[in-house]
Structure 1
Amino acid sequence: MSAVPSPSSQPLLDVRGVYKRFGGVEALKGVSLELHPGEVVALAGDNGAGKSTLTKMISGVYPADDGEIRLDGQAVRFSTPEAARVAGIETIYQDLALADNLSIGANIFLGREPMRRAFGVLPVLDRRAMAQAAKETMSRLDFHVDRLEAPVGRFSGGQRQAVAIGRAMYWNARVILMDEPTAALGVPEQRKVLTLIRNLKAQGRGVIFISHNLQDIFAVSDRIVVLRRGSLAGERLIAQTTHDEVVKLMIGG
């Protein structure tokens, strides 16, 4: 596992003192976070700490009320999640947003399907291109199933996570936000997902890993950022902290 980049190197993603308010509720209070290429940063905190709000701001769901988000050193302000995806930020939610009745290839291109001309005139889905994209993308993840054209609803939880990660890779996401990717999975499936995250890290992508599972966080992350009641409670290198210290940061002990 590579070392954490030095603070002097330019971060891939730089969140600077962001605030978010919903009516009279201040959901985020001046939170900052950096993410470097090839780094996994865990985002931890109890329910209501602000984790989801922060990731939704990064991914274009919510605008920041104050503060700044920079991507590759340039200030960005995404008006929609699609704008964030075009810029290279993909979110993999816990429910994965996959179409269970469709194949891997169809899920990779969901909403962005390639077309070809039939008989030189009629536009039709380019299923061959979709199948080839599925084959190449899944091989990069060392992902193997008997039938790539099978509906993803037949796959296990870990395999479905691989499809969602493969979709982000195909569209060349450089920042990948993962919301509880190991929740509700058995231990072997959890290990597979952690291996996939290490794969993303080795490719130089930046991963923000949201989880309540400290064991998974310590297994795969370089740094951990802890939020509490909308504020930054602390930030630690994984190699220089303990489970107990992180729990104390979370609960304010």
Structure 2
Amino acid sequence: MTTNGSGPAGAILPDAPPKDGTAPIVELRGAGKAYGNIRALHGVSLAVHPGQVTCVLGDNGAGKSTLIKIISGLHQHTEGEFLVDGAPVRFSTPREALDKGIATVYQDLATVPLMPVWRNFFLGSEMTKGPWPIQRLDIDRMKKTADQELRNMGIVLDDLDQPIGTLSGGQRQSVAIARAVYFGARVLILDEPTAALGVKQSGVVLKYIAAARDRGLGVIFITHNPHHAYMVGDHFSVLRLGTMELSAARSEVSLEELTNHMAGGAELAALKHELAQVRGVDVDELPEAEDLKAPAAATPEGTS
């Protein structure tokens, strides 16, 4: 586990590679983004390995959206390194990121509610048949392919002709995930997929996140819910005010520790004395500041 301040000048030490030796598909090394004088992200290191779910947690304004924009090619980093398959990259457009196998599923899902499920599945990449210039949509092939790909992800829909807007939120998220997998995603970025869903529908989405991991994808799960993250996550990174506060493998952090970091437990512990002076505030259950300090991580070989 690495926490803020565990390296020189407060840097985050790089995490040790997985025991299976797989190299990361996407890696950030001390990456940051500044908009003029505003530094939105600074010194963030993150590695996304195939067959793993990397959870990025943080409150509003923590830097999650900026991180997504850098990896997805919408914005360019202004400090540090961004590597794909070990080679430095600097994407100019999201299309360049997609060509490298990095797909992003945003909260709005980029779907057309009144169009059928199969049409949304191929939206912008429709199959055609017939000679040029009188090609027409190959509807039967698209329906068959969409049904097969959805079933491969464990998604069974009775009617692919129904408007996608009639599906539940969890089902729409699942279709978007299956679509990204079909079109060659190796890294799948999910932007708050469970934020607007109930318990049952959140469970549906988490199941398909696990299914994507089992198919060998590297998944970046952006969320503000530590309980959802802990259900499927293999590695956890907590952002606070644009910097990495915590970076830990699942075996190195408990759900309680993750929740405390996410909820700003360190700040509350520091304010415990002041809060004790406020009438009606019970501080007995608040942790002490030293209780929230994570054990120092072993420095990976070659980084000392």
- The alignment's TM-score, normalised by the length of structure 1, stands at 0.93
| 1:40–1:223 CA contact under 8 A, matched in 2 | yes
Shift of 1:29: 0.7
- Structure 1: segments with no counterpart, 5+ residues: none
Name which of 206, 212, 217 aligns with 2:224.
212
Task: Report 1:1-253 matches (<5 A).
Answer: 5-6=18-19, 9-117=22-130, 122-250=134-262, 251=264, 253=266
CA gap 1:136/1:47 in 2 versus in 1, 3 angstroms: same
% same residue: 43
C-alpha distance in structure 2 between counterparts of 1:122 and 1:220, whole Å: 47
Shift of 1:41: 0.6
User: Secondary structure at 2:120's aligned position in 1?
Assistant: helix
The Cα offsets for residues 212-253 of structure 1, whole Å up to 9 and x where unpaired, read as 111111100011001111111111122331233224434261
C-alpha distance in structure 2 between counterparts of 1:148 and 1:90, whole Å: 23
The Cα offsets for residues 28-48 of structure 1, whole Å up to 9 and x where unpaired, read as 111110011000010011111
Q: Which has the larger radius of gyration?
A: 2
Shift of 1:8: 5.1
| 1:19–1:29 CA contact under 8 A, matched in 2 | yes
- Structure 2: segments with no counterpart, 5+ residues: 1-16, 267-304
C-alpha distance in structure 2 between counterparts of 1:51 and 1:225, whole Å: 10
What one-letter code is carried by the residue in structure 1 that aligns with 2:220? I
| 2:187–2:218 CA contact under 8 A, matched in 1 | yes
C-alpha distance in structure 1 between counterparts of 2:135 and 2:113, whole Å: 25
| 2:237–2:246 CA contact under 8 A, matched in 1 | yes
* Structure having the larger proportion of residues in strand: 1
Instruction: Quote the RMSD (CA, aligned, Å).
Output: 1.7
| 1:108–1:170 CA contact under 8 A, matched in 2 | no
| 2:22–2:50 CA contact under 8 A, matched in 1 | no
C-alpha distance in structure 1 between counterparts of 2:126 and 2:68, whole Å: 27
What one-letter code is carried by the residue in structure 2 that aligns with 1:190? S
The Cα offsets for residues 40-74 of structure 1, whole Å up to 9 and x where unpaired, read as 01001111111110111000000111222111112
C-alpha distance in structure 2 between counterparts of 1:83 and 1:106, whole Å: 24
What one-letter code is carried by the residue in structure 1 that aligns with 2:251? A
User: Secondary structure at 2:130's aligned position in 1?
Assistant: strand
| 1:94–1:181 CA contact under 8 A, matched in 2 | yes
The Cα offsets for residues 120-156 of structure 1, whole Å up to 9 and x where unpaired, read as 7512112122112211111111111210121101111
CA gap 1:22/1:144 in 2 versus in 1, 3 angstroms: same
| 2:105–2:188 CA contact under 8 A, matched in 1 | yes
Shift of 1:191: 1.0
The Cα offsets for residues 74-98 of structure 1, whole Å up to 9 and x where unpaired, read as 2222111111112111111111111
Shift of 1:104: 2.2
C-alpha distance in structure 2 between counterparts of 1:244 and 1:46, whole Å: 17
C-alpha distance in structure 1 between counterparts of 2:22 and 2:130, whole Å: 47
User: Secondary structure at 1:41's aligned position in 2?
Assistant: strand
- The alignment's TM-score, normalised by the length of structure 2, stands at 0.78
My pick for the range that moved more, 238-247 or 139-148, is 238-247
